[in-house]
């Protein structure tokens, strides 16, 4: 039986890599996409060594021309893309007044424009076929103000709004579009945010002076926790769910 095909961006590590592994373990043929070709190759080699159907596709999601080439190549080699997961993301920390033009542009290029370019290219393939599911990995920061995260939060809010608007337009084509909004997750991005104390301890305890509550469940998410939420929204079990944002943050944003 021919495998379902999924394209996952940000696949070289963290949440993206966890999504790739989980989908591949469920017999989905995964096109693993990332700009960091060396890191992507290492990640995919491990998955392939475990007997999983994963293929590496180094690509820059901030280039619409490169994305168009990527989607054509994946469909030519693996088959029609049924699932898309936008997991590529970057974080530039800094107070809003001190962010540089480059900080803002680089953040939006990946977190917002990258979601637009990849989703547009894949949706234009899905629509004539009349089926598909798209999940964008955003952030709980998209709906909750965070100090020193203005560019990141704004870009994730843009990605969230775009994904829901896309879902509204694609509903008539039987294509579902949803968002997973993680909170603090045990990834390299989280560990790059703190220096004096461990990232996990700070996240769990909260930072009152930054108006940030802790995590009620008393732990940060593992990438696999977020991957499970993504896989659910892609699955037939979520067949009547679209335009939805599923927050996976252990209660850090108090359900708001």
What residues are annotated to the active site? 152
Could you tell me which residues are beta bridge partners of residue 180? 137, 246
CA dist., res. 9 & res. 60, Å (int) = 10
Distances (CA, A) of 224 to 13, 151, 255: 12, 26, 21
- Both tokens assigned to 26: 């469920």
3-class DSSP assignment, residue 177: strand
Distance of CA 170 to the CA centre of its chain: 20
Q: Identify which of 35, 156, 151 has the alpha carbon closest to the alpha carbon of residue 102.
A: 151
Please name the helix (run of DSSP H) or strand (run of DSSP E) that holds residue 1, with its range, or none: none
CB 72 within 8 A of CB 121: no
Q: Which residue has the tokens 């953040």?
A: 107
């Amino acid at each position: 039986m021919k495998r379902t095909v999924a394209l996952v961006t940000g696949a070289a590590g963290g949440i993206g890599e966890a999504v790739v592994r989980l989908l591949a373990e469920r017999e989905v043929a995964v096109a693993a996409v990332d700009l960091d070709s060396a890191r992507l190759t290492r990640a995919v080699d491990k998955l392939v060594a475990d007997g999983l159907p994963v293929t590496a596709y180094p690509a820059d999601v901030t280039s619409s021309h490169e994305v168009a080439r990527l989607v054509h190549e994946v469909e030519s080699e693996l088959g029609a893309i049924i699932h898309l997961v936008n997991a590529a993301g970057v974080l530039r920390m800094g107070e809003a007044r001190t962010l540089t033009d480059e900080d803002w542009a680089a953040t939006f290029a990946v977190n917002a424009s990258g979601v637009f370019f990849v989703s547009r290219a894949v949706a234009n393939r899905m629509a004539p076929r009349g089926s598909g599911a798209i999940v964008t990995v955003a952030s709980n920061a998209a709906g909750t103000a965070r100090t020193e995260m203005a560019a990141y939060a704004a870009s994730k809010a843009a990605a969230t709004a775009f994904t829901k608007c896309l879902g509204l337009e694609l509903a008539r084509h039987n294509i579902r579009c949803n968002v997973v909004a993680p909170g603090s997750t045990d990834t390299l991005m989280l560990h790059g945010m703190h220096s004096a104390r461990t990232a996990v301890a700070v996240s769990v305890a909260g930072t009152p002076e930054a108006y940030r509550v802790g995590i009620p469940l008393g732990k940060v998410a593992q990438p696999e926790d977020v991957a499970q939420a993504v896989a659910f929204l892609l699955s037939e079990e979520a067949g009547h769910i679209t335009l939805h944002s599923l927050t996976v943050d252990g209660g850090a944003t108090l359900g708001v």
